[in-house]
Structure 1
């Protein structure tokens, strides 16, 4: 492990960017209309035969009737009219979905489909109509592209209706927005609360009045007595306990303070959502710091601009901001998000290696290298993959060929 000291840092205060969580509360209705009966085709030729032919036709009709019945059963389970459905428990970010008071089963299904939780209304209503599960009004934490059965499993548990889930990597501004939406507060209420009650949040001294990085991602109980302040206090207290368990104040990397470790953890969280890659990402950051190389992390540009994108332009890299790691050496002045356990542990225990660059060429395929030439080839693969799978501009539209990672 590289033991070179990390450049110093003066923790500063910066307001952060925005989120997308919850609506408001529901109950069950009936299942979908049954599929229409298949029509038997009419014969193309009239019957001009005698008794033998009539018996033959009767026999064929009976056989056809049996085939039709068998085909109808098969049609329901695997035929062309089977409703579209995803497999598994979903992926990506946790999203807050509210089931309104008095909503029908179809209305719930429509909400889920509109938020890309389930593949189709019929898939959910079909599963739910055949279940005794009762769905209570409330706000639930779900994921994109869940099977209808998996989504029903979450919605059918009353304990899930009274919670707020903050996923790893959310910025403080996004956490504030999530709290406002979950508690049905006017936009900006939670942020105003944080700013007006900093002393009551009991932030550590090194935070210099900035909660960023200290609103720990987890699931928090919400009751009728829950306030924005009480939720923020729980998050800060939880961060204190969790980071204490991780011993963040005593990082293994020489010269690194606990607050700097938290900043690095936020960078790792912002650059990777794969726990298997996080320790390598942390090592890339430390290796570049030790060599006085700019970090060139797109996540810091995104933070400064209050956005989230895979593509950083040349203009973006010229941004006048202390968070522009293309221009400003060392670590940014504060965390850029609220990291979870995996990212914190990666920052405290980076993987051994000489890597200086990384890029996620495609989902599940992140390439690490110490060669600028190899990195450029990897970025070309990334651009080619993006061109095939999206209409977004390629990474070469910006300065990513020189960036540390994507």
Structure 2
């Protein structure tokens, strides 16, 4: 709706618009206040009748000298001389309609009942011919005579011949203009400021032309977009299927060169594979994971630092890591004395010999030992028995101090879980430190794990005050080896050993040595806590499958003879 004034009718256009209403066809507009039809002298004129609002706006007066407003007005009949004729009842004028089935056009002609219709005297007259302006008052000027005027209206029969929808024409025009570099088109009249006076209709002069074809360039662009979308989807689909079902990329062989790899704690197989791939060890993480899942020990690969090679097959990398051969780590073996641990740290970290031992002697008490440790003033090494046997990572940040701290912390965890204080009291020992010492003796004396429980019972039997077999002496060669820093079976004669003055010499002192003589593993600790019941005081290992235990010294001497025979056969 525009800001024009609205009359009582439904038409929203301004009355001065030449296309206002549908008032017939003459090529000129019907002016408000002019009569669309004159029927002769006043005596024969119909009295005005009330009209519908639509027709009320179209009534006006035309002087007889003016051209009738419609080109197909019926010729006026001679007026009859019979006065009774104008006494006939008034008839309402009826407008003539034009058009075929489903299409009706108001021609503007009015038929009056009782007035015969004759041939049209204006038939064949050019409706676009300029009409002579009349000088009668009330006649409006010709609105089609200036360049700024509206285009002349078209006959009803030519108004709807376009076969293409307006929106389609406008979109085609906009697309052509855009492809030609013209931006949004030559008639971007979205705000109603175009050629049609802002009414949103189609532009004049287009209806008679040939319907515009859709641009070939637009179709080409659409085709390119479709091909790109389909091609991209196909590529990603192919990549997905290839990754899911194709064999993983892999190197061949054992690899070359050397590279150090650090595997953090808690790392899964997939992340391990990605770390190895990032360092050039394997070609793909999937190849490593597949090989690890197929290997019997593949899922048990531990965290740590590994000495690997570049361009290894997944199978070769898993084999190296699963067996621990390539791991850049320090394995503390159960039964190792502290001096052995110190030397191993110096070697693996490429330090001068004695570096770690000096650090342990200086800072041993500050590495986290429990409060019950070092309960004997004659202890040779405060850390003995607390460098727990396990595998320790030798990453790039490893130092002697960091490694010793890890070992002590691991020992504290193992001993704390067993509640050594309560167990020591139950076994007749003075403190947990003595229990760790018993475990170190079991570890050192027992050659085979299946003998640990009985050896533990021998220790506790010899420690009994009423022992008449050894009289409270342990008589263990392992303590002599600890004192001398050696590992041999020929420690010397018993008489010579009893002369050796040392708090660790079990051939001279009664009871336990001053402290542990090594670092017991979990099996020896378990046996020290749970000795097998029995009366044994002696034992000797003949071979791997035979360890002979005895209650008396005579029985033990017979067992030793058998042991000597076995050694002679070796």
What is the TM-score of this pair, normalised by structure 1? 0.58
Q: CA RMSD in A?
A: 2.7
Matches within 5 A, 1:321-360: 321-360=502-541
Return closer, same or farther for 1:158/1:198 CA change in 2, 3 Å cut-off. closer
Q: Distance in 2 between matches of 1:311 and 1:331?
A: 22
Partner in structure 2 of residue 265 of structure 1: 439
Tell me how many residue pairs correspond in the alignment: 254
The more displaced of 190-199 and 347-356 is: 190-199
Matches within 5 A, 1:3-402: 28=255, 133-134=315-316, 153-154=319-320, 160-208=326-374, 210-251=382-423, 252-290=426-464, 291=467, 292-314=471-493, 315-389=496-570
Q: Distance in 1 between matches of 2:432 and 2:365?
A: 21
Structure 2 counterpart SS, 1:249: helix
Q: Distance in 2 between matches of 1:259 and 1:178?
A: 25
Q: Distance in 2 between matches of 1:133 and 1:200?
A: 44
Large movers: runs of 4+ above 6 Å:
98-102, 156-159
- Structure 1 unmatched runs, 5+: 1-26, 30-88, 90-97, 103-127, 136-151, 390-406
What is the TM-score of this pair, normalised by structure 2? 0.42
Q: Distance in 2 between matches of 1:154 and 1:213?
A: 31
Shift of 1:319: 2.1
Contact 1:200/1:233 (CA < 8 Å) preserved in 2?
Answer: no
Q: Distance in 1 between matches of 2:482 and 2:429?
A: 26
Q: Distance in 1 between matches of 2:354 and 2:429?
A: 38
Return closer, same or farther for 1:328/1:155 CA change in 2, 3 Å cut-off. same
Return the structure number with greater relative CO, CA threshold 8 A, min gap 6. Answer: 1
Shift of 1:194: 1.1
Q: Distance in 2 between matches of 1:275 and 1:157?
A: 22
Q: Distance in 1 between matches of 2:324 and 2:552?
A: 53
Structure 1 counterpart SS, 2:398: coil
Contact 2:442/2:524 (CA < 8 Å) preserved in 1?
Answer: yes
Q: Residue by residue, what CA displacement relative to the aligned partner does 1:174-214 show, whole Å, maximum 9, x if unpaired? A: 01111111111111111111122224302123333700001
Return closer, same or farther for 1:202/1:368 CA change in 2, 3 Å cut-off. same
Shift of 1:163: 1.4
- Bigger Rg, which one: 2
Q: Relative to total residues, which structure has the larger helix share, 1 or 2?
A: 1
Contact 2:497/2:508 (CA < 8 Å) preserved in 1?
Answer: no
Q: Distance in 1 between matches of 2:567 and 2:460?
A: 29
Q: Distance in 2 between matches of 1:297 and 1:159?
A: 35
Contact 1:176/1:188 (CA < 8 Å) preserved in 2?
Answer: yes
Partner in structure 2 of residue 141 of structure 1: none
Shift of 1:161: 1.7
Structure 2 counterpart SS, 1:250: helix
Shift of 1:225: 0.3
Shift of 1:273: 3.5
Shift of 1:274: 2.2
Shift of 1:317: 4.7
Q: Distance in 2 between matches of 1:182 and 1:133?
A: 27
Q: Distance in 1 between matches of 2:522 and 2:314?
A: 37
Return closer, same or farther for 1:191/1:382 CA change in 2, 3 Å cut-off. same
- Structure 2 unmatched runs, 5+: 1-253, 257-296, 298-305, 375-380
